[in-house]
């Protein structure tokens, strides 16, 4: 029975840069989603998941129309249906989804699901081809996301972070030393405003790009030239964030973990002040991690408006929970894993 396993991801630095032709440094993590496909001579896919009780029936020729996909029940299967609509499997059958990704941890469970499903249904090609299909599926169900999550889930290399240049769609494997513990903490803030807020930031960046061109290719002078103060702040985040991605890659290559950590802290300030995607709970989670001796740096990771925080720490510096505003919050210690399409040699 064919199966495909796609990892979640955590973004070490470079947020809200992917849809701006900028740069980011994510890594695939050692928890993920597996899709197991049992083909049968029928015209639909029976989709079941460990996480949900309702089974979804998706015609193999399901219409990629966003309105129809948005009305599909059960709701958990809408993204999967969009992947099916684009993958156009030759046959139906049953697909079982199981996941070790912690729910709500901001480790991109939706990209892991989309990549695992696309691969098990026979979508072929390099990681960027699979990632584009998964991104398009997200767009069909109303999430105007970039390529960061599916490209990492498909194309990262074990033991490495993945430096992605979204202007050229080229990637470079960046080795991660065992001397650094990649820690993710849940802020406890899972607000539904996330989707509206994310779409608003995409639109603001588009408005700025209409004046100065793609923000990931812009420089400080372009930012100063923007007359609208809000667009200027948004653009300043993207321009400075891309520079920080390059600086973190250099710091890691030099073994300068303190330097890399300081850049994560700067990134958080930029995401909170200029890009305005942090929340009090996320700020508190960053502060709680930074207060632990041996933490090099911490920042919001992913889309923001709640969600998770990533830190680089000395092994052993952070436990399995961290107290945020007097409440214990879950902490995950993650290792850089292989993408779905780059399995490690046995
Ligand atoms: C979400 C999106 C990504 C990316 C990040 C922010 O995770 O899915 O495409 O834009 O937010 O960096």
pLDDT in tens, 228-256: 999 999 999 999 999 999 999 999 999 99
CA distance to 5, 11, 84, 150, 287, per residue, from 340 (Å): 6, 17, 18, 10, 34
Q: Is any ligand 1 atom within 6 A of the Cβ of residue 303?
A: yes
320-335: per-residue pLDDT in tens? Answer: 999 998 999 999 999 9
**For range 300-310, the mean pLDDT:** 95
Separation between Cα atoms, residue 290 and residue 255, nearest integer Å: 20
Domain boundaries of the chain, sorted by first residue = 3-175, 181-334
User: Which CATH code is given to the segment(s) 3-175?
Assistant: 3.30.230.10
18: CA distance to ligand 1 center in Å?
Answer: 7
Quickly state the pLDDT bin for 183 (edges 50, 70, 90): very high
Local confidence band at 199 (pLDDT 50, 70, 90 cut-offs): very high
Architecture of domain 181-334: 2-Layer Sandwich (3.30)
pLDDT, average across residues 8-34: 98
pLDDT above 90 (res 227): yes
Percent of the chain with pLDDT over 70: 98
Comparing CA positions, the residue from 276, 338, 291, 44 lying closest to residue 185 is 291
Q: What is the pLDDT of residues 65-112, one digit of tens each?
A: 999 999 999 999 999 999 999 999 999 999 999 999 986 678 999 999
pLDDT band at 216 (very low <50, low <70, confident <90, very high): very high
Q: Is 146 in the pocket of ligand 1 (CB under 6 A)?
A: yes
Residue of 148, 201, 206, 276 best suited for mutating to test ligand 1, as the one with most atoms within 8 Å of CB: 148
Q: What is the mean pLDDT of the chain?
A: 96
Backbone angles phi, psi at 156, to 5 degrees: -75, 160
């Amino acid at each position: 029975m064919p199966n495909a396993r796609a990892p979640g991801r955590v973004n070490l630095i470079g947020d809200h840069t992917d849809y701006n032709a900028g740069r980011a440094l994510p890594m695939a993590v050692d928890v993920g989603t597996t899709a197991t496909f049992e083909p049968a001579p029928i015209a639909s896919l029976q989709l079941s998941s460990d996480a949900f009780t309702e089974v979804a029936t998706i015609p193999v020729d399901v219409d990629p129309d966003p309105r129809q996909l948005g009305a599909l029940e059960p709701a958990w299967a809408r993204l999967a249906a969009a992947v099916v609509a684009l993958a156009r499997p030759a046959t139906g059958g049953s697909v079982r989804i199981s996941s070790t990704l912690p729910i709500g941890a901001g480790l991109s469970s939706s990209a892991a699901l989309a990549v695992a499903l696309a691969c098990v249904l026979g979508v072929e090609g390099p990681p960027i081809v699979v990632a584009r299909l998964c991104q398009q599926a997200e767009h069909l169900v109303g999430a105007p996301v970039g390529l960061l999550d599916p490209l990492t889930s498909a194309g990262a290399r074990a033991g490495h972070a993945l430096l992605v240049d979204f202007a050229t769609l080229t990637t470079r494997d960046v080795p991660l030393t065992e001397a650094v513990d990649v820690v993710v903490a849940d802020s406890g803030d899972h607000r539904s405003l996330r989707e509206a807020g994310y779409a608003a930031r995409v639109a603001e960046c588009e408005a700025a790009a209409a004046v100065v061109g793609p923000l990931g290719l812009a420089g400080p002078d372009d930012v100063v030239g923007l007359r609208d103060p809000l667009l200027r702040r948004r653009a300043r985040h993207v321009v400075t964030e891309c520079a920080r991605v390059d600086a973190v890659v250099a710091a890691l290559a030099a073994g300068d973990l303190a330097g890399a950590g300081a850049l994560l802290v700067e990134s958080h300030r930029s995401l909170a002040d200029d890009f305005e995607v942090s929340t009090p709970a996320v700020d508190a989670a960053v502060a709680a991690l930074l207060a632990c001796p041996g933490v090099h740096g911490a920042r919001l990771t992913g889309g923001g408006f709640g969600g998770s925080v990533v830190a680089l720490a000395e092994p052993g510096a952070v436990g399995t929970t961290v107290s945020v505003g007097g409440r214990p919050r879950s902490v995950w210690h993650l290792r850089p894993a292989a993408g779905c399409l780059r399995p490690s040699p046995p």
